[in-house]
Structure 1
Amino acid sequence: MELLDRSTYYRAFQSHDARFDGRVFVGVTSTGIYCRPVCPARTPRFENCRFFASAAAAQDAGFRPCLRCRPEIAPDFASWRGSANTVSRALALIADGALDDDEAGVEILAGRLGVGGRQLRRLFQRHLGASPIAVAQTRRVLFAKQLLHDTHLPMAEVAMASGFGSVRRFNETFRKLFDRPPRMLRRKAGADTSARDGVTLRLAYRPPYDWPGMLAALSVREPSGLEWIEAGIWHRRLDLDGAQGRVSVAHLPDRNAVAVTIRFPSVKALPAIVARVRRVFDLGADITTIDSHLARDPGLAPLIARRPGLRAPGDWDDHGMDIPSDDTAPPAWRPWHAYAEQHLRMARHA
């Protein structure tokens, strides 16, 4: 499904407008590649551009990811969450591997969400422009591509971490999509390392981001001994499926991103850990839109001006993921009032 407001989106690509990064992707018919709005490549001609609401929609239409702007590191976008709670919860489950097996998984996923498979496919087409299977496959490819670019994991571990059933399937997918084996996409030379040795990935957000405010909010959560902050870096102990590890998150303000370092023996857990980090640090928030709406309140406006980019931390464990809810309701785990409460809380401690 293509986006119809082509002139607006084309202007965003001409100006490399970062506000649209993750909101829209452009497929270039003359090259067969899809890009982010911030791509440094020369802007294609208007008549050669097709615009899509998600990377999955662009890839499903036959375009392959750009090697320069790297769609896999675009910030997540959650604009549809206010009207499609089911989609947001489905994406979280997909990140946990809900559709790593086959098409039959769509019916199982729909059942966990309290809807029918047909309705779930319809919601995905409406909000993301692609089917659940296409979304899962695209996420798998893009996560593998990020691991290839940014880590020294062996190819077998990259394949397992990304949800591919086998190295053969992993190789075939990349040859079909990029016309080259996955090892040819690896930019850095160096000895292979395992996930146990540590994997560091960069996760982008839309600025501004009040990092001190986020750390302050995380520091006053219920003390459990699992989380702590040291020298401006957040740490957490991991205990997943009987295995132990650690994750740390540092701020990269010059790149509008955070650096996530994961040490965990099972590479298959990497996507789920990354998804939880995104949730805890609210990396998918369209913070400019949120702040502009909240600033309409006379009491909140001066607080927002004082702390732009202040976000509401999420929970590491989302216990309500399998609870059916009204598709038209805003997500229970990210209510708008959480942002207002965060501003008020910071004001009281200022």
Structure 2
Amino acid sequence: MELDHEACYRAISTRDARFDGRIFIAVRTTRIYCRPICPARTPKRENVTFFATASAAQEAGYRPCLRCRPESSPDLGAWRGTSNTVSRALTLIGEGALDGEAVDALAERLGIGERQLRRLFRQHLGASPIAVAQTRRVLFAKQLIVETTMPMAEVALAAGFNSIRRFNATFQILYQRPPRELRRSKLIDGEQTGAEGITLKLPYAPPYDWDAMIDFLGARAIRGIEAVDNRWRYRRSIALDGAQGVISVEPDDREPALRVSIRFPQVSALSGIVRRVRRIFDLSADPLAIRDDL
């Protein structure tokens, strides 16, 4: 995917929030990639490379910035709408398709050849299917580490790592430190398991019409399953694979994000629950594209 280097550099020079989630800046001298709104000093023009996805940046050998936290950027890939096959593949990857099977098995499920699938991913995402799956696992794990007090073993399981050893090794390679050191000091004391409940921030690209969304959901709420509290909080019960839990969603009062609280006994289901919440609240919507079409 071709990116306009000059336009991208102007965006990071002004920390233009409209580009957040659309591009990632990689600094050759530090081997770190950032969001365009990163508060760090703007690097020299000749030292930067731009990528359309975090997966492409990581596959190129760059590690995520600890200041701007790429895992907190809106999920606004510029490739959206260009390939239905890529969209279907990403849905399957999000459901764990590459956690225990090879790329050729994923391609077979999509009805195309492995080479064609790799070509489409390279064309639209700038990265291989394996790199995309790995980046998603790492960034979700990083979010759980920073925003919750879940034990590391549960973080690894929730993010789709097959073993705690692989989880630790991946973070050591990517962040050059063990995952526990990434947890903020204020969260270290008093671990809370995922089954006891966690709260995560799910970012979006503003503007976001919370009132319209909550009115829409409230008018269609299923009695006994869903509820809307004073147009501020959405609650519902969930059931997956025989297990039951509850979620609640409300707007964050400081950042362009929704706060989702999840109480569910199976931590391995957390990523899927988060993905469904994002879909229900349309958090990957591109407001600029919507404005242009309207």
Separation (CA, whole Å) in 2 of partners of 1:128 and 1:173: 22
Aligned to 2:163: 166
Aligned to 1:348: none
Aligned to 2:195: 196
Does the CA-based 8 Å contact 2:3-2:52 persist in structure 1? no
Aligned to 2:56: 57
2:185 pairs with 1:185: no
Q: Give the Å deviation of 1:189.
A: 2.4
Higher alpha-carbon deviation: 198-207 or 115-124: 115-124
Q: Give the Å deviation of 1:254.
A: 3.1
Q: How large is the RMSD of aligned CA atoms in angstroms? A: 1.4
Does the CA-based 8 Å contact 2:53-2:77 persist in structure 1? no
**Amino acid in the other structure paired with 2:160:** G
Separation (CA, whole Å) in 2 of partners of 1:113 and 1:167: 31
Alignment of 1:1-350 (within 5 A): 3-102=2-101, 104=102, 106-187=103-184, 188-221=187-220, 223=222, 225-231=224-230, 232-294=232-294
Q: Which whole-Å deviations, capped at 9, do the CAs of 1:163-200 have from their partners, x for residues lacking one? A: 11111111111111111111010002221111111111
Aligned-partner SS, 1:81: coil
Separation (CA, whole Å) in 1 of partners of 2:249 and 2:83: 29
How has the CA–CA distance of structure 1 residues 163 and 246 changed in structure 2, closer, same or farther, with 3 Å as cutoff? Answer: same
**Amino acid in the other structure paired with 1:284:** S
Q: Which whole-Å deviations, capped at 9, do the CAs of 1:65-105 have from their partners, x for residues lacking one? A: 00000000100014423221111122122111111124x2x
Does the CA-based 8 Å contact 1:79-1:286 persist in structure 2? no
Separation (CA, whole Å) in 2 of partners of 1:59 and 1:77: 17
Separation (CA, whole Å) in 1 of partners of 2:200 and 2:221: 27
- After TM superposition, the runs of 4+ consecutive aligned structure 1 residues lying more than 4 A away are none
Does the CA-based 8 Å contact 1:246-1:263 persist in structure 2? yes
How has the CA–CA distance of structure 1 residues 128 and 219 changed in structure 2, closer, same or farther, with 3 Å as cutoff? Answer: same
Aligned to 1:306: none
Separation (CA, whole Å) in 1 of partners of 2:226 and 2:95: 22
Identity %: 59
Separation (CA, whole Å) in 1 of partners of 2:145 and 2:219: 37
Aligned-partner SS, 2:39: coil
Separation (CA, whole Å) in 1 of partners of 2:41 and 2:77: 28
**Amino acid in the other structure paired with 1:217:** F
**Amino acid in the other structure paired with 1:177:** L
Separation (CA, whole Å) in 2 of partners of 1:51 and 1:184: 28
Does the CA-based 8 Å contact 1:92-1:275 persist in structure 2? no
Q: Which whole-Å deviations, capped at 9, do the CAs of 1:238-297 have from their partners, x for residues lacking one? A: 100111001111111530100011101111101101110110111011112212321xxx
TM-score normalised by length of structure 2: 0.95
Does the CA-based 8 Å contact 1:78-1:285 persist in structure 2? no
**Amino acid in the other structure paired with 1:12:** A
- Unmatched 5+ stretches in structure 1: 295-350
Separation (CA, whole Å) in 2 of partners of 1:31 and 1:78: 24
How has the CA–CA distance of structure 1 residues 80 and 225 changed in structure 2, closer, same or farther, with 3 Å as cutoff? Answer: farther
